[in-house]
Chains A and B, each alone.
Chain A
């Protein structure tokens, strides 16, 4: 299979983020490519297809596991490494040079370089929280790049980390727990173990919690176990959602809950657990959803397929945008004069 077809067929987008100016959407995949899509076309209610995407390769050794956008930097979480690259809004180019780099410290007993799996960016304090493959959540000061604190406790790698500006952090991990942290306490303030709840446990799929999201009073999380809402004060599970697949995405959106994962639909539920919208997606599994309410309502869902799914009213699928095969400059390279050098064998041809 040619590389082009390979990328087309197996494009796995793990991360997305929207620029501070809210004019661009970035999506990164496991081939180390970062796509940039201009959102201004999507704003208009025209039927025209949006502009082509730009692609900024980060190197084949870089897996783009997670993305965040801070001021004019795109922050990329890869393997054992967080780095920032400057985004030039005028020229619409992503700098090819890394502006800064933070290495995740290797643990004493580590055998593998840990992945950086999830970011939560606190814009009020310019702090980045990174959930990593060694089970630790690192609190990083974006002013000087120092690791301010490590939140230790998870016994397996962290899937997802979110927080609130007042210093409360929530992390979910492969070990099946959701831990609640405060930046003033060393130990987790509380812990949820959904797999211990027989209502939630799906034994064939394990106990891992793939995603967690919070608002003022409620927490939603899911993974191998079913997605469910928990009350933050009482730590009681109050509602179970019947999303049929493994959960990789769950978010509070407006006053509903978005759940996505390894299933051919993503679903919106009310807080009471009734299904509001069932949106078909082409992803084998959905891994990322980003949205904004202003200046216009817009949501993009990405996952293991070559298409970004765009929702404008959060109830129906609006459009699908292809990534590979829809890049700026694609038409030009069609004229490639490939030197068909048969790669099949290195034997010397005696002729």
Chain B
């Protein structure tokens, strides 16, 4: 550009100079002047191109400038964004979800309750599974909430209903009173003395609640059954006294409590078991007549405020003054084994041991005290009769509501057991005094006489029994809380003697007497060393009462079975003896069968033909 202009200027200068020279020399030439003027045109052209160039250069610059500006702006934006994101990250890090404050179900419960499709969720991320879990719980909570509100509303409804019923019920009272008053003239006219009776027996109003319930139920039962009688023993005044006393005691206690707490230590020595354990002044006396009208069973039923339970003390009274052997034991066994696992060894009231603990007492002490002072035992069935909730030694809770049925059942049970026991004691007495009517026994028994005979029946101690029969007893399943009375019977035939050891369980007739046998003849044979004796013993012990006729005499039947088995043993055993002592008297086909050489102990009766078989 410069060059262009410069050359133009140089040319122009030359032309000027030329002109000047010419002019000065006065040789001005027209033509030369015009060429020089033309040079101005060229100069002008050049000038124009120069200007255009400058302009384009300027445009270029401007463009570049704006580009720079743009990128700068972008940079700024990005920087801003970075800082923003950094802030965002910090915020996220500081973020705490609200669900962390929620108490969630434990994993185990969760998997049990909510995870229907656990496998599906297994591949989800931690976060997602957590979300899923939250959702599930939300659903669960909503459901529970619904249930809760439903229950609440039903409770409300029931309350309303209750209220309505009570109102109705209350409105009865005046009507009843007017009815009572209006019937008075009728009573007088008919000369009824219901009122008087009612007033006389009003003492039972003072009975504690459980005994009251029992008494009312007994009265109801008594209306149509005459074989038992119940009455309330004690004085109305005592009951009133006790009520007053307990009230004043409470007041005293409260006062003491308010006054000062220093004197608490001095109260302990006087709080002995006697003063704490006081029965209610009123108790129920229940008299049940035995089936044969010879004996009376007297049950004294007491309530214990402290123990919250009822105890019964049984007594036997004989109505015709005949002595009754071991009656106390019998009657306690009778009640103690009325129901299984209910022998009155615990106080069956839930939580009573803790309450007693606070008074420094134990249940064992209390029970011991009760037994020693002849207050009896707290059986579960007795509590049920009084509608007291019980927990037995297997930790099963029971609260009886159908009292009427329950009491009837208990009475039937007692009578049944009693009857069995009476029969058993009769049999034992018969055996002891050898006053047995053999023919009367109705076991499907060999009718022709038995050759072996009972020569002795004596009571022995349990230790003696156990010494004789340690082997067998160990094999049996152990049974707690059952005591045994043992007897020894001796059966003789010719030179052979058989000792029988009989063990009668206290829960007869649930368990039946157990017999063990020992034969003395050419040595001592017992179930330990002689299989034939063991089979014989099995045959005796396998006699079940249900196979016998009603009104059976089990002990006699067992004895007969044993004796004829003994006869058969001797007769079959004798058959191989060189010198025969016992001839075959019983009808049997073969003396032995099977590899065990089983003897024909079983008695078969077909029509009038009878035989013994294996």
Chain A interfacial positions (CB closer than 8 Å to B): 1-2, 4-6, 8-10, 12, 14, 63, 65, 111-112, 115, 117-118, 133, 157, 159-160, 174, 203-208, 210, 224, 248, 262-264, 284-285, 287, 304, 306, 325, 338, 340, 342-347, 349, 351
Judge whether A65 and B594 touch: CB under 8 Å. Answer: yes
Closest to B577 in A: A204
| B597 partner residues in chain A, CB cutoff 8 A | 174, 208, 210
* Interface-lining segment among B297-305, B316-324, B415-423, B490-498: B415-423
A sample of 8 inter-chain contacts (CB < 8 A) reads A159-B595, A204-B577, A264-B529, A284-B528, A285-B596, A304-B596, A338-B340, A344-B419
Q: A160-B595, A304-B596, A343-B546 are in contact. Are A8 and B509 (CB under 8 A)?
A: no
Q: How far is the CA of A14 from the CA of B596 in the complex (A)?
A: 8
Judge whether B534 and A342 touch: CB under 8 Å. Answer: no
Can you list, as one digit per residue, whether each of B439-480 has a CB less than 8 Å from chain A (1) or not (0)?
Answer: 000000000000000000000000000000000100111000
| A284 partner residues in chain B, CB cutoff 8 A | 527-531, 534
Judge whether B541 and A6 touch: CB under 8 Å. Answer: yes
10 residue pairs, one from A and one from B, having the closest CB atoms: A346-B550, A206-B576, A10-B538, A344-B509, A285-B531, A344-B420, A343-B546, A1-B541, A284-B531, A351-B412
Q: How far is the CA of A285 from the CA of B527 in the complex (A)?
A: 10
Judge whether A133 and B576 touch: CB under 8 Å. Answer: no
Q: How far is the CA of A260 from the CA of B420 in the complex (A)?
A: 45
B511 at the interface (CB under 8 A from A): yes
Nearest Cβ on chain B to A342's Cβ, whole angstroms: 5
Nearest Cβ on chain B to A141's Cβ, whole angstroms: 25
Of A8, A287, A338, the contact of B475 (CB 8 Å cutoff):
A8
Nearest Cβ on chain A to B579's Cβ, whole angstroms: 10
| B544 partner residues in chain A, CB cutoff 8 A | 343
Q: How far is the CA of A263 from the CA of B528 in the complex (A)?
A: 9
Apart from A1-B541, A306-B475, 15 more pairs, CB < 8 Å: A4-B477, A112-B590, A112-B613, A117-B594, A118-B595, A157-B590, A157-B592, A203-B576, A304-B531, A342-B417, A343-B509, A344-B420, A344-B545, A345-B552, A349-B415
| A9 partner residues in chain B, CB cutoff 8 A | 472, 475-476, 538, 541
| B147 partner residues in chain A, CB cutoff 8 A | none
Judge whether A345 and B593 touch: CB under 8 Å. Answer: no
Q: How far is the CA of A174 from the CA of B596 in the complex (A)?
A: 11
| B340 partner residues in chain A, CB cutoff 8 A | 338, 340
Judge whether B596 and A133 touch: CB under 8 Å. Answer: no
Judge whether A287 and B596 touch: CB under 8 Å. Answer: yes
Of A6, A10, A115, the contact of B593 (CB 8 Å cutoff):
A115
Closest to B409 in A: A351
Chain B, 558-614, CB within 8 A of any chain A CB: 576-578, 589-590, 592-597, 613
Q: How far is the CA of A304 from the CA of B597 in the complex (A)?
A: 13
Of A133, A160, A262, the contact of B531 (CB 8 Å cutoff):
A262
| A12 partner residues in chain B, CB cutoff 8 A | 531, 535, 596
| A208 partner residues in chain B, CB cutoff 8 A | 592, 597
Nearest Cβ on chain A to B410's Cβ, whole angstroms: 10
Can you list, as one digit per residue, whether each of B474-514 has a CB less than 8 Å from chain A (1) or not (0)?
Answer: 01110000000000000000000000000000000111101
Main DSSP-derived SS at the B contact region: loop
Closest to B576 in A: A206
Nearest Cβ on chain A to B164's Cβ, whole angstroms: 41
| B537 partner residues in chain A, CB cutoff 8 A | 10
B225 at the interface (CB under 8 A from A): yes
| A63 partner residues in chain B, CB cutoff 8 A | 594
Q: How far is the CA of A340 from the CA of B593 in the complex (A)?
A: 38
Chain B interfacial positions (CB closer than 8 Å to A): 225, 227, 339-340, 408, 411-413, 415-417, 419-420, 472, 475-477, 509-512, 514, 522, 527-531, 534-535, 537-538, 541-542, 544-546, 549-552, 554, 576-578, 589-590, 592-597, 613
Q: How far is the CA of A5 from the CA of B538 in the complex (A)?
A: 11
Main DSSP-derived SS at the A contact region: loop
| A10 partner residues in chain B, CB cutoff 8 A | 534-535, 537-538, 541-542
Nearest Cβ on chain B to A290's Cβ, whole angstroms: 15
Nearest Cβ on chain A to B228's Cβ, whole angstroms: 9
Judge whether A304 and B594 touch: CB under 8 Å. Answer: no
Interface centre among B225, B511, B514, B596 (most CB of A within 10 A): B596
Judge whether B475 and A344 touch: CB under 8 Å. Answer: no
Closest to B338 in A: A340
Q: How far is the CA of A111 from the CA of B511 in the complex (A)?
A: 38
Interface centre among A65, A262, A284, A338 (most CB of B within 10 A): A284
Nearest Cβ on chain A to B47's Cβ, whole angstroms: 118
Judge whether A343 and B408 touch: CB under 8 Å. Answer: no
Nearest Cβ on chain B to A308's Cβ, whole angstroms: 15
Judge whether A224 and B420 touch: CB under 8 Å. Answer: no
Q: How far is the CA of A18 from the CA of B590 in the complex (A)?
A: 33
Of B551, B577, B596, the contact of A345 (CB 8 Å cutoff):
B551
Judge whether A2 and B511 touch: CB under 8 Å. Answer: yes
| B514 partner residues in chain A, CB cutoff 8 A | 1
Q: How far is the CA of A205 from the CA of B522 in the complex (A)?
A: 12
Q: How far is the CA of A208 from the CA of B591 in the complex (A)?
A: 12
Closest to B411 in A: A351
| A111 partner residues in chain B, CB cutoff 8 A | 589
Of B227, B509, B527, the contact of A342 (CB 8 Å cutoff):
B509
Closest to B221 in A: A351
Judge whether A342 and B595 touch: CB under 8 Å. Answer: no
| A306 partner residues in chain B, CB cutoff 8 A | 475
Nearest Cβ on chain B to A220's Cβ, whole angstroms: 17
Q: A111-B589, A262-B530 are in contact. Are A349 and B416 (CB under 8 A)?
A: yes
Q: How far is the CA of A157 from the CA of B591 in the complex (A)?
A: 11
Judge whether A351 and B576 touch: CB under 8 Å. Answer: no
Of B415, B417, B534, the contact of A304 (CB 8 Å cutoff):
B534
| B529 partner residues in chain A, CB cutoff 8 A | 262-264, 284
Nearest Cβ on chain B to A279's Cβ, whole angstroms: 17
Nearest Cβ on chain B to A198's Cβ, whole angstroms: 13
Nearest Cβ on chain B to A64's Cβ, whole angstroms: 11
Judge whether B530 and A204 touch: CB under 8 Å. Answer: no
Q: How far is the CA of A351 from the CA of B528 in the complex (A)?
A: 47
| A346 partner residues in chain B, CB cutoff 8 A | 549-550
Nearest Cβ on chain B to A307's Cβ, whole angstroms: 10
Of A4, A205, A342, the contact of B420 (CB 8 Å cutoff):
A342
Q: How far is the CA of A210 from the CA of B415 in the complex (A)?
A: 53
| A8 partner residues in chain B, CB cutoff 8 A | 475-477
Judge whether A157 and B593 touch: CB under 8 Å. Answer: yes
Q: How far is the CA of A248 from the CA of B510 in the complex (A)?
A: 38
Nearest Cβ on chain B to A110's Cβ, whole angstroms: 10
Q: How far is the CA of A42 from the CA of B149 in the complex (A)?
A: 62
| B595 partner residues in chain A, CB cutoff 8 A | 14, 65, 117-118, 159-160, 210, 248, 287
Closest to B291 in A: A347
Closest to A118 in B: B595
Nearest Cβ on chain B to A207's Cβ, whole angstroms: 8
